[in-house]
Amino acid sequence: MKRIVVFGGLGLIGSHLCCRLADIGEEVVCVDIRDMEESMLVFPYYRDGRISYINHNIITPLILECDQIYNLASPTSFKHFQGHLVSLLRTNIVGTLNSLDLALRNRASVVYASSGDVYGSVTHNLSRESDIYAENLTTYAEGKRAAEAVCQAYRNEYDMQCGVARIFTTYGSGCRADDSRVVMRMIFDAISNRDIVIYGSGEQMRTFCWVGDVVDALIRLMALPQQQSVPAINIGSSHEVSIRHLAEMIIALSASRSRIVHATPRRDDSRRVAPDLTLAHRLLDWTPTTSLSHGLQLTIEYARQYVAQFSSMRSELI
C-alpha cells in the first residue's frame, strides 16, 4: 500500500482520483481548501475512513510522509479566479514549488496537472507537445507554463520523477452547481429548463473527455518509468464536436425544454481546440473509452442528484 497525497482532491478530477485510488487499496490523503461535506463523491469515503482529509492551502508548505503526490490544486473556472489573478499564480507556482519540496523530502514521485491552455487561445491544428508556446496566453495559462518549468527544473537538478499532464477539457460528476465550465453550465441550465447560451455561431470545435478516463491516464503517467518520461504529455479526447451540437445533445439526453440562444462571440474563442494524443497512446497505452453520449448521461444523472440533495438541505434549514 502506498501513501498518496492528492492536492486539489475535492475538485472535479481530484475527487475521482481520490476515490479510484482508495478503491484499489491505496492510503489516500486528500488536501484541499474546500469543505469535505461539499463533495458528494469523496465525503462517503472520508466518513467511512477510507480517505483522510487535510484542509490546507498549497501555497503554504505541508509536512507529511508520502510515496506519491498528485498536484491538481488550481482554480479551473474563470469565475472562480476572476479578480484573484495573483492568488492564481501563487497557487500554480508557489504551490508547485511546495509540492515538489515535499516530494524531495520523501523521495516521492509526482504528477502535475497542467493544462492544454498553455498552447494559447487560438488553435487551428492539433496541439502537439513540441509546439512553440503562443503569445496570447491568459494568466491561468502563464501560471501553468511557469509551473511546468518548475517541474522540469526539479527533474533536471534533483533527478526527480515528475510527470506533467497537459489536460484538455474534462467533464463529469463532481462539479458544483456554480461551475461555469461549458458542459456543467449547459447541463445545470438544461435540467432547470433555462435558456442555454452559446457565444457566437456555436460552430467552434472542441473535445470533451470523461473525468474517469483522465484519471486513468494520470495513474498510468505516475507509473511510467522515469527513463521513459517526457517533459509533458497531452491528456484529453480525440472526438471533436461543435459547441452547438453539444448543447443539442444535452437538451435531448435530459429531455429539457431549454432553448439555445446565441450571444456576442468572445474575442479569444478559438475556432478549434484539440490535442494530439500520439504520446499518450504510445507511452501510456491509453485512449479514452467513454463515449460523449454515455458520459453526458452519467453527468446529467449526477446533476439531478446534486440539485435534489442541496435543495433538500436548504429546505431543512428554512
Which cell numbers in the block locate residue 264?
Answer: 456576442
126 occurs within a structural domain: yes
Task: Answer yes or no: is pLDDT of 133 > 80.
Answer: no
- Shortest CA distance to 293 belongs to which of 204, 208, 212? 208
Q: What are the angstrom distances between the C-alpha of 207 and each of 8, 239, 264?
A: 23, 6, 22
**pLDDT of the residue at 318:** 38
**pLDDT of the residue at 79:** 56
Task: Quote the CA–CA distance of 171 and 183 in Å, as a whole number.
Answer: 7
Q: What is the pTM of this model?
A: 0.93
Which cell numbers in the block locate residue 207?
Answer: 473535445
Residue the block writes with cell 453520449: 293
313 occurs within a structural domain: no
Q: How confident is the model at residue 135 (pLDDT cuts 50, 70, 90)?
A: low
Task: Answer yes or no: is pLDDT of 315 > 50.
Answer: no
61 occurs within a structural domain: yes
- In the three-class reduction of DSSP (H, G, I as helix; E, B as strand; rest coil), residue 52 is classed as strand
Q: How large is the average pLDDT for residues 242-258? A: 98
Task: Answer yes or no: is pLDDT of 121 > 70.
Answer: no
- In the three-class reduction of DSSP (H, G, I as helix; E, B as strand; rest coil), residue 237 is classed as coil
Q: How large is the average pLDDT for residues 231-245? A: 96
**pLDDT of the residue at 314:** 46
Determine what percent of the chain is predicted with pLDDT higher than 90. Answer: 78
Structurally, the chain folds into a number of domains equal to 1
Phi (first) and psi of residue 69, to 5 degrees: -135, 125
Q: Determine contact, residues 16/215, Cβ cutoff 8 Å.
A: yes
**pLDDT of the residue at 68:** 98
Q: How large is the average pLDDT for residues 223-252? A: 93
35 occurs within a structural domain: yes
Instruction: Select the more confidently predicted residue: 194 or 314.
Output: 194
124 occurs within a structural domain: yes
Task: Answer yes or no: is pLDDT of 122 > 60.
Answer: no
**pLDDT of the residue at 202:** 95
Q: Determine contact, residues 153/205, Cβ cutoff 8 Å.
A: no
Question: So which residues are the catalytic ones?
Answer: 140
Task: Quote the CA–CA distance of 229 and 129 in Å, as a whole number.
Answer: 13
Which cell numbers in the block locate residue 45?
Answer: 469515503
**pLDDT of the residue at 311:** 63
Determine what percent of the chain is predicted with pLDDT higher than 70. Answer: 92
Residue 275 DSSP one-character state: B
Task: Answer yes or no: is pLDDT of 40 > 70.
Answer: yes
CATH number at residue 90: 3.40.50.720
Per the structure, the complete domain to which residue 219 belongs is given by 3-173+209-238+269-290
95 occurs within a structural domain: yes
Task: Quote the CA–CA distance of 108 and 7 in Å, as a whole number.
Answer: 14
3-state secondary structure 172-233: CCCCCCCCCCHHHHHHHHHHCCCCEEEECCCCCEEECEEHHHHHHHHHHHHCCCHHHCCCCE
**pLDDT of the residue at 316:** 44
Instruction: Select the more confidently predicted residue: 135 or 178.
Output: 178
Q: What are the angstrom distances between the C-alpha of 297 and each of 15, 156, 210?
A: 19, 44, 11
Q: Which residues pair with 71 in a beta bridge?
A: 7, 112
Task: Answer yes or no: is pLDDT of 131 > 80.
Answer: no
49 occurs within a structural domain: yes
Q: What are the angstrom distances between the C-alpha of 292 and each of 127, 281, 295?
A: 21, 19, 5
Q: Determine contact, residues 127/275, Cβ cutoff 8 Å.
A: yes
Neighbour count for residue 231 (Cβ, 10 Å): 14
Task: Answer yes or no: is pLDDT of 77 > 80.
Answer: no
282 occurs within a structural domain: yes
Q: Half-sphere exposure of residue 139, counting CA atoms within 13 Å on the CB side?
A: 15
Task: End-to-end CA distance of the chain: give it in Å, rounded.
Answer: 45
Task: Answer yes or no: is pLDDT of 127 > 80.
Answer: no
Mean pLDDT (the chain, rounded): 91
Mean pLDDT lowest among 37-46, 171-180, 271-280, 309-318: 309-318
- Shortest CA distance to 8 belongs to which of 141, 171, 174? 174
**pLDDT of the residue at 107:** 97
**How deeply is 157 buried, as exposed, middle or buried, from its count of CB atoms within 10 A (0-12, 13-18, 19+)?**
exposed
Q: How confident is the model at residue 312 (pLDDT cuts 50, 70, 90)?
A: low
Task: Answer yes or no: is pLDDT of 313 > 60.
Answer: no
